[in-house]
Amino acid sequence: MDKLEYSHRRDRLMAAIGPNSVAIVAGAKELRRNGDTHFPFRQESDFFYLTGFAEPNAVLVLAPCAEKAEATIFLNPKDPSAEQWTGIRLGVDAAPERLGIDQAFDVASMDEELPKLIEGRRALHALFGFDGDFDQRIFSWINKVKSQRRPHPGEFVNLAQSLHELRVIKSPLEQDQMQRAADITAKAHIRAMTSCEPGKSEWNLEGELLAEFMTNGARFSAYPSIVASGENACIMHYIENDATLNDGDLVLIDAGCELDHYASDVTRTFPVNGKFSPEQHDLYQLCLEAQKAAIASVSPDRRFSDPHEAARRVLTQGLIDLDIIDCESVDDAIEAGKEKKFLVHRCSHWLGLDVHDVGMFEDNGKSRVLEPGMVLTVEPGIYIPSNEQMQEVASKWRGIGVRIEDDVLVTEDGNRVLSAKAPKELGDIESLMANGL
């Protein structure tokens, strides 16, 4: 994205915190995997949102209306020896122009330079509670200013609410990025469907997903892929992905790529052998009808909870019609909570730089109103494991789990399903698995 996009975000955040405040946002550090091996570096999402900078150990300071510099970044310096081992660094000299930031310092000078930036400010905003060690450093800088008998912040504000509310509304550039991520993820789900056959392993399908992600420029998954066949589909966050794909089972794949830090999150459920059994057909079609009702309720001025409520009513009525729930009406069943053991999770969450993205779900105790630019998932599911809780359910239904999930952008006149290219109609899935692309 253009550096002006990040500059605009910083300006909006500074307007939100006010002219006599200062905000400090730390980037991520490298994480040790084991021994002397580290995980691939992934920047902390809040820091990336404000800078677009993807190197470790950096810190951003925003001081609205400061005479010299409103935006300051501390980062690793150029170091030819270190760069030969771990890659090229941007460096202090190049950072202001490349990032559109007013000034830059070596991160090693932070204890000396950062107290100067908070001096004279009334309120200090930071993501308190996220990193205890960094919180302590913040207060050490305040104590340094105090020890010099200089004016210092006396009010401490968690930056999360003001910053995370900015992230809820996606800009046009973000929307385009998320569309590209969803398109890649749709290709990956299609690849998994067309390569599926009895006798393979769940991890074979996971490998197909990862290969398609990387082939299209998305090196990482947005989260560990769920490839859950048979009764494994009744486990919400199943990630072992090591079972054999058995003839006659369904397989549920919940997987999405991360493209330039933006997540996609898509779930499809399909038959291992390419043909739905009658029971699988009925439960899948019910879940699909519920998802369509939920997506239809995504539009400006509707509430975040509306998709869940729409899906819950369709699912509950369908389970009554299939004699899985014994009740006279949807309202009676919901009042008695009879649907809860089959519908074990909410229907939606925010999506963005994080797969479970930041932002409030409620406003003044009520589900918040949807606005253009918001992106949420819509993912109803039905789960009927073979356990003691399901003993009253006919055996033909037990061991089946179905979830269908799409990424949905709220638009001015309704919504757009970003992940629409991933097949989900029964006939389309069976045709694809029988005939390929």
**Judging by DSSP bridges, how do beta strands 381-384 and 400-403 pair with one another?**
antiparallel
Task: Quickly state the pLDDT bin for 102 (edges 50, 70, 90).
Answer: very high
Q: Residue 437: its pLDDT value, please?
A: 65
Lateral strand order in the sheet of 250-255: 226-229, 250-255, 266-271
Q: What is the DSSP string of 161-183?
A: HHHHHHHHSPPHHHHHHHHHHHH
Q: Tell me how far apart the alpha carbons of residues 418 and 183 are, in angstroms, rounded to a whole number.
A: 7
Task: Quickly state the pLDDT bin for 70 (edges 50, 70, 90).
Answer: very high
Q: Residue 67: its pLDDT value, please?
A: 85
Q: What is the mean pLDDT of residues 289-317?
A: 98
Q: What is the DSSP string of 68-95?
A: S-SEEEEEPPP-HHHHHHH-----TTTH
Return the active site residues: 36, 237, 254, 265, 345, 349, 356, 379, 383, 403, 405
Q: Residue 68: its pLDDT value, please?
A: 86
Q: Tell me how far apart the alpha carbons of residues 344 and 173 are, in angstroms, rounded to a whole number.
A: 35
Q: What is the mean pLDDT of residues 295-312?
A: 98
Q: Residue 1: its pLDDT value, please?
A: 85
In single-letter form, the type of residue at position 134 comes to: F
Q: Tell me how far apart the alpha carbons of residues 343 and 297 are, in angstroms, rounded to a whole number.
A: 19
Show the domains of the chain with their CATH numbers: 3-167 (3.40.350.10), 169-435 (3.90.230.10)
Q: What is the mean pLDDT of the chain?
A: 97
